[in-house]
A and B are shown apart, each in its own frame.
Chain A
Amino acid sequence: MKKSKQFWLFIIAAVLVYAVVQFFIANGTMNQFYSNTFIFIAINIILAVSLHLVIGITGQFSIGHAGFLAVGAYISAIVTMKLDLPFIVAIIVGGMVAALAGLIVGIPSLRLKGDYLAIATLGFAEIIRIVFLNIDYVGGAAGMQVSHLTTWTYAFVCLVITIIVIVNFTNSRHGIAAISVRENEIASDAMGINTTYYKVAAFAIGSFFAGVAGALYSHNFYIIQPSQFGFLKSFDILIFVVLGGLGSLSGAVLSAILLTVVSTYLQGYPETRMIIYSLVLILVMLYRPKGLMGTMEITDYFKLWRTPKGGDQHGK
């Protein structure tokens, strides 16, 4: 009852945000620059939320997310540019191939833990990038021409689907199993949870949405190049998740919005851009060491405002 009310509130809020932004884009109040910023925010939120599932929920420290972004970007570009199929097909195929790449990378590397896993995923992401760099079919280092197909509608619908899927996953026995892997893998195993299965599953779902984001990303520019998907891109996504607070989905969303806006507005000051961006990160980490939201969700704050009734679960 309570949960479904929350769900419909979310849908209403989403429709409102969509309608307002779409209205301003349609009547021309918002120029190309602003609408692009909004699309870019949506893409970054998808990336942040998908990595949140892997790092924040399942506790697997993966820093190769840009690799799956690249897979989605290139595969979807091939689908639209070389095969002349519609964009919606490209998004789905991009996501699925990225999920497949996630499985291939995840099954061997998720046996590792902590730092070792981080290094392995980073390595795999670089391998993916180098592979694209050396395939002439997709243009090699010069890159590949992609037509501009991403609209605010596509980006926003993908974003909403991503959030719903990941929230639904988290608030189920499967999500609890994944969190138990994060909290204590040995105990989780001893409680009959197939820990490898959940690690790989979370990794594959995360990769799927990274691939979807990749499809939106490549069709938002006119060209994609392997250099856009280097490890710095992976770290950008990682920063969204860490800055938002590990384990908090709304934190990941907030920090993705905040950092995208900050870095967009700083484009006018290329000399000081990275300094100010870094200062923002340092300040947030000084004053909110557990991230913007810690492990709380926005809905927890709503609950705090009301008188405590009891019976409601924490973190849901």
Chain B
Amino acid sequence: MENKPLLEVKNAGIQFGGLKAVQNLNIKLNQGELVGLIGPNGAGKTTSFNLLTGVYVPTEGDILFNGERINGLQPFKVTRKGISRTFQNIRLFNELTVLDNVKVAYHSLATHTMLSSILRLPSHFKGEREMEEKALEFLRIFKLEKYKDELAKNLPYGQQRRLEIARALAAGPQLLLLDEPAAGMNPQETHDLMNLIGFVREKFDLTILLIEHDMNLVMGVCERIYVLDHGQLLAEGSPEEIRNHPKVIEAYLGEEVHDDNA
């Protein structure tokens, strides 16, 4: 089991015109790992996520998921293969209710056809009822049940983040990509989020890749960390190794001033 990584990124990169936003990206995730991806602003973290989820097609390299090449697949196909994500800036379906937001994620698992819905055949009612039950179950797990008829835009910020994670999980992923889940949260909310991440990981047997700026969170929950800078992998290792890695410190705090610079 150890030998077969769930996700393997081999020398992937993308170029926008002359700009190499990400290059030589090599990531290996084993089943069940919780891995962090950090780096200064503009390092290419979100771009890497976009490569993994099919929003961008890599101009070089390969991305293998369960041993299968997924680069070049459209985003919705990548999601159906088992990778789902949240967004740095929350992207909920604002004018839909909390319940419907989760239902959308179930959409690709349901089978009743458009014609059966228009003609209101029994398969429509059965399919819709199943979707509703499953979605409610998810809201219960995430303690969002009391908000189910609320429009998503009316939820408090922290709950919106929670809903986004719930929605991503409802799509039934094996690999969950979280893009700055703690952005804009206060320490208490961040703490709750850490617990939530640990909880869903156990509960759904997930592999998680996490982008985060909050070092407490990253160092606290991640088993391994990748560091990106200027579109390139700078370092990889355990939180302890990363904390003391000279190149990482340099990337975050700047170089030491040497005499010959003067």
A interface residues, Cβ below 8 angstroms from B: 165, 168-169, 172-177, 179-180, 182-184, 186-195, 201, 247, 295, 310-315
Contact = CB atoms under 8 A, between A and B. Distances in A.
Contact of A189 (B75, B112, B167): B75
A194 B76 contact: yes
Interface stretch (B7-15, B31-39, B93-101, B246-254): B93-101
Given A168-B117, A192-B105, A187 B95 contact: no
A176 B87 CA distance: 20
B257 interface: no
Contacts of B69: none
B92 A187 contact: yes
B75 A190 contact: yes
Decide if the interface of chain A is mainly helix, strand, loop or mixed. Answer: helix
Contacts of A182: 95
Nearest to A172: B117
Nearest to A174: B114
B151 A173 contact: no
Contacts of A190: 53, 55, 75-76, 79, 84-85, 87, 91, 168
Contacts of B55: 186, 189-190
B232 to A, nearest CB: 26
A253 B193 CA distance: 46
A173 B93 contact: no
A247 B94 CA distance: 13
A188 B120 contact: no
A176 B101 CA distance: 9
A189 B85 CA distance: 11
B123 to A, nearest CB: 11
Interface in B68-98: 74-76, 79-80, 84-85, 87, 91-97
B84 A191 contact: yes
A57 to B, nearest CB: 11
A191 B74 CA distance: 12
A186 B106 CA distance: 16
Interface stretch (B124-132, B196-204, B237-245): B124-132
B80 A312 contact: no
Contact of B76 (A175, A189, A201, A311): A189
Contact of A173 (B96, B112, B149): B112
B19 interface: no
B118 interface: yes
Contacts of A314: 97, 149, 151
29 contacts: A168-B117, A168-B118, A169-B117, A172-B114, A172-B124, A172-B128, A173-B106, A173-B107, A174-B117, A176-B96, A176-B104, A177-B104, A177-B107, A179-B93, A183-B96, A184-B93, A186-B55, A187-B87, A187-B91, A190-B75, A190-B85, A191-B104, A191-B108, A191-B167, A192-B76, A192-B79, A192-B84, A247-B95, A310-B149
Given A165-B118, A193-B107, A188 B127 contact: no
Contact of B171 (A168, A172, A192, A315): A192
Nearest to B95: A183
B224 interface: no
B124 A191 contact: no
B177 to A, nearest CB: 9
A295 B75 CA distance: 30
B45 interface: no
A165 B95 CA distance: 22
Contacts of B127: 173
Interface in B147-198: 149, 151, 167-168, 171
A187 B119 CA distance: 29
Given A168-B118, A174-B117, A191 B171 contact: yes
A188 B97 CA distance: 15
A173 B167 contact: no
Contacts of B119: 168
Nearest to A188: B104
Contact of B93 (A175, A183, A194, A247): A183
A165 B97 CA distance: 23
Considering the complex of A and B, which 8 residue pairs feature the smallest CB-CB distances, nearest first?
A172-B117, A192-B108, A187-B91, A183-B93, A192-B79, A189-B75, A180-B104, A191-B105
Contacts of B53: 190
Nearest to B177: A190
B108 to A, nearest CB: 4
Contact of B97 (A194, A195, A313): A313
B110 interface: yes
A191 to B, nearest CB: 5
Nearest to A170: B117
A177 B103 CA distance: 9
Contacts of A295: 95
B93 A201 contact: no
Contact of B91 (A173, A184, A194, A201): A184
B122 to A, nearest CB: 13
A279 B96 CA distance: 34
Contacts of A176: 96, 100, 103-104, 107
B100 A191 contact: no
